[in-house]
Amino acid sequence: MHIHILGICGTFMGSLAQLAQQLGHQVSGCDANVYPPMSTQLELAGINLIQGFDPQQLIPAPDLIIVGNAMSRGNPCVEYMLDHQLPYVSGPQWLGETVLRNKQVLAVSGTHGKTTTSSMLAKILDVAGCKPGFLIGGVPRDFGVSARLSDSEYFVIEADEYDSAFFDKRSKFVHYFSDTLIINNLEFDHADIFDNLEAIQKQFHHLVRTVPSTGTIIYPAGVVSIAEVMSQGCWSKQQTYGPESTDWQYRLITEDGSVFEISHGDETAQVRWQQTGLHNVLNGLSAAIAAYQVGVSLVHACAALSAFVGVKRRMEIIYQAEGISVYDDFAHHPTAIATTLAGLRAKVGDSPIIAVIEPRSATMRLGVHKEALSVAVADADQVYWYAQADTHWDNADVALACSVPAVASSDIELLLDLTAAAAQKGGHIVIMSNGSFDGFHGRLLDRLARAS
């Protein structure tokens, strides 16, 4: 079968393309913005990428069109597809019906940490010999690919609450037939499609309704937004986690979270890993609990976590020279920015931290979290905000409200100059963006390399 994917370079759709190819289909696709790491993965897989949405690519007609949720009415390919009655489906529905229906599905949901937690869970199951299939919205460095099929009964899926397609406004995760479900956290996000937190909670309630009575829902105790979802009805087993008085507990052994302990009943095991920050401790804990549901012991889960390398673009070190470290990070929500910087601060002590942030997500551009941003960067020593042309608010106001020195500019060359000039031996530069940032990463590394 020839499957053509509209919007193929998104993290989800690009991963879907690889699964379709592994199933033996001929796969092609198109997109308007093609950039690594997904474009690299697709090219290495031999998948034909077409730049743009010229309807000529649909002649002759493919057997099936999978439509990404970034596509909308008015898109030339979408209009041609509808006008000519070509067969089409959303990515989540195709994945659920084609791949997940007959698997033991371990789904990871929540506002933050889905990609990292999914990667941790896949790592644990892989080390335990389960060889799971997976689809993750990023590239786990332990595997080198964002998706794979296997003969295993287990499949790990990053379960996103974003909508499925222009013709299906339900959240993606309702299509996934989840057996074990993690809800890591729940905050307001995706302001382009959700009016408020209650609208997101409604989708999570729909997700909870799909988990069988023999399944398990795993979530942190004491989080009001999640407790409100669970109070609407739950027909599955539940496992909670937290520092105390829960089914599962954790204890920090080092302040930065690089060594911690997990306890469950009479069982206790320790994780000693490369990751930092309380958010990663909680991610690892929820992954261990999920693996436990399918028979992986706590000791084996903690040993696998200790060997976990990480995920591309999640505090990935992309440069180290002359005592300067540069990190590429995907954080694009105030909570994610704050926890990531707090984890780095706990690790590096008084060493200088420079944060360079592109508020790129739809929610960020709308200014929904504007008031929280200045507080989120408190653990940095210097902050540079990139003000995009389509941002609906003034980054300068946020810069002025920061408790640490901050500059906002729409001139990327100026930001490069300022960042390179501020770099110093023993310092750490964290570039935070969920996009290509107009090539900022590579251009900064070139400058640092030339100056060394």
Buried b (16+ CB within 10 A) or exposed e, 264-300: beeeebebebebbbbbbbbbbbbbbbbbbbbebebeb
Last residue of a domain, one of 306, 335, 368: 306
Query: What are the structure tokens assigned to 187, written together?
Result: 């905050």
Q: What integer pLDDT is reported at residue 450 of this predicted model? A: 85
Which pLDDT band holds residue 362 (cuts at 50, 70, 90)? low
Residue 97 burial (CB count, 10 A): 12
Closest CA relative to residue 197, chosen from 226, 171, 238, 220? 226
pLDDT at 224 over 70: yes
Kindly state whether residues 289 and 324 are assigned to the same domain: no
Kindly state whether residues 142 and 269 are assigned to the same domain: yes
Last residue of a domain, one of 306, 341, 359: 306
Kindly state whether residues 114 and 74 are assigned to the same domain: no
| Rounded distance between C-alpha atoms, residue 313 and residue 349, angstroms | 23
Kindly state whether residues 36 and 73 are assigned to the same domain: yes
Position 403 in a domain: yes
Domain with 369 in it: what CATH number? 3.90.190.20
Kindly state whether residues 135 and 205 are assigned to the same domain: yes
Kindly state whether residues 149 and 235 are assigned to the same domain: yes
Kindly state whether residues 163 and 272 are assigned to the same domain: yes
Position 77 in a domain: yes
| Residue type, position 5, single letter | I
Position 421 in a domain: yes
| Boundaries of domain holding 76 | 2-86
Position 187 in a domain: yes
Closest CA relative to residue 182, chosen from 316, 298, 287? 287
Which pLDDT band holds residue 191 (cuts at 50, 70, 90)? confident
Place of tokens 């060594």: 259
Count structural domains, the chain: 3
State whether the Cα torsion 241-242-243-245 is positive or negative.
negative
Position 311 in a domain: no
Which pLDDT band holds residue 393 (cuts at 50, 70, 90)? low
Which pLDDT band holds residue 399 (cuts at 50, 70, 90)? confident
Kindly state whether residues 284 and 322 are assigned to the same domain: no
Domain with 64 in it: what CATH number? 3.40.50.720
Kindly state whether residues 191 and 65 are assigned to the same domain: no
Position 189 in a domain: yes
Kindly state whether residues 205 and 322 are assigned to the same domain: no
Domain with 229 in it: what CATH number? 3.40.1190.10
pLDDT at 365 over 90: no
Kindly state whether residues 299 and 350 are assigned to the same domain: no
pLDDT at 153 over 80: yes
Kindly state whether residues 58 and 149 are assigned to the same domain: no
